[in-house]
Amino acid sequence: PPSGSVYRGRRDFREYQGQRNLFSPNQDHEANIGAWRKLETAGVAIKEWQINVSTGELETNDLVSLLNENTRFVAFTHCSNIVGSINPAQEWIKLIHDAGALALVDGVSYVGHGFPDIRELGADMYFFSLYKVYGPHLGVMFIKDDLNQTMPNQGHYFNHDVPIARFTPSGPDHAQIASVNGVIDYFESVYNYHYDDIYADDRLKSKRVNHLFKKAEKRNMIPLLELLSEKTSVNLIGKSEHKQRAPTISFTVANQEPADIARLLANENIGIANGSCYATRLMDALDIPRDKGVVRLSFVHYTSSQEIKRVINALDRIL
């Protein structure tokens, strides 16, 4: 996980001993939470930004009430891997900056649904895994130039002044880096199939592809969310409508175990996830047993309407 790699740099934050680091321990995947939690061993005080247990959401008002003159950085997820909500990152980053703190954003559950414009968001750091954008299992870390320059070199001494190398303690994995070209090729292919303006700048291309992805996901999310909302035995986690939501849809069912539902769907050649999905702190906050967890349905832009109909029909029989 990309944010896990930042744990190597926890010593860089020791200057903040006795100060506070806000992050979202209830909503995130443990790979994001755990790395920051370990900063406590370096003397950094951790302050939790709790979810609303009724909705599973992080509330802006709670962020505002937690921010103060001691806040040095806030780590949060762009999109929860269970709740599925796309958090208002740009709004939160502005509030964090206005308080004089750094905004560190994990985008691993967001980027598969469209590349973010990181500079437009304003994040000081942004992390994600390339396998989420159909590439190799390799982490990506964006870091603003001014922050890059203030943090100690973690790489070879001769890379001290090389921004893209100074946070790599050893040599890069050249084979995986070479395969990253396939990610760009894929996004370019999607763009070129739908648009004739091949000479558009990259930011415009990215926004257009994001629009295509979201349009396809919305088409499939609506009937699935409608079915789950109609089932009185289903406890849908997160928003019941598609707006500001990724197609990561989790729920529990009265008197049915998530693992049993997963097995029944597997019998129909439908693969889903079940369990805590490494969001154990969120499970605790929502009073869901960790060993049982949730049923989680996930899809992306290339999932067809026919595939979603199969899922809906199967769930209609099972639930």
pLDDT at 34: 85
Count structural domains, the chain: 2
Q: Which CATH number goes with the domain that contains 98?
A: 3.40.640.10
- If you average pLDDT over residues 94-107, what whole number do you get? 95
pLDDT band at 174 (very low <50, low <70, confident <90, very high): confident
Question: 134-143, 204-213, 254-263: which range is least confident on average?
Answer: 134-143
State residue 87 phi and psi, 5-degree precision.
-70, 150
Separation of alpha carbons 115 and 118, rounded Å: 9
**pTM, two decimal places:** 0.92
Average pLDDT of the residues of the chain: 90
pLDDT at 19: 55
Q: CA angle, 266 as apex, 261 and 270 as ends, to 5°?
A: 100
pLDDT at 8: 47
Separation of alpha carbons 67 and 73, rounded Å: 10
Is pLDDT of 5 > 60? no
Closest C-alpha among 29, 27, 33, 30 to residue 57: 27
pLDDT at 10: 46
Asked if 169 and 26 sit in the same domain, the reply is yes
pLDDT band at 214 (very low <50, low <70, confident <90, very high): very high
pLDDT at 4: 47
pLDDT at 1: 42
For the chain, percent of residues with pLDDT exceeding 70:
92
Is pLDDT of 274 > 90? yes
Is pLDDT of 18 > 60? no
pLDDT band at 302 (very low <50, low <70, confident <90, very high): very high
* Structure-derived torsion over alpha carbons of residues 142, 146, 147, 153, reported in degrees to the nearest 10: 90
Asked if 84 and 221 sit in the same domain, the reply is no
- E strands present in the chain: 20-23, 45-48, 71-77, 102-106, 125-129, 139-143, 234-237, 248-253, 273-275, 294-298
Asked if 167 and 250 sit in the same domain, the reply is no
Expressed in angstroms, the distance from the first to the final Cα of the chain is 34
Asked if 173 and 247 sit in the same domain, the reply is no
Asked if 46 and 115 sit in the same domain, the reply is yes
pLDDT at 9: 46
Is pLDDT of 104 > 80? yes
Separation of alpha carbons 302 and 35, rounded Å: 32
Of the residues 154, 179, 204, which one is the last residue of a structural domain? 179
Is pLDDT of 12 > 70? no
Asked if 165 and 225 sit in the same domain, the reply is no
201 or 170: which leads in pLDDT: 201
Which residue range is the domain that position 285 belongs to? 214-318
Q: Is 125 within 8 Å of 73 (Cβ atoms)?
A: no
31 or 191: which leads in pLDDT: 191
Asked if 219 and 156 sit in the same domain, the reply is no
pLDDT at 206: 95
Domain presence at residue 294: yes
Is pLDDT of 160 > 50? yes
Asked if 172 and 269 sit in the same domain, the reply is no
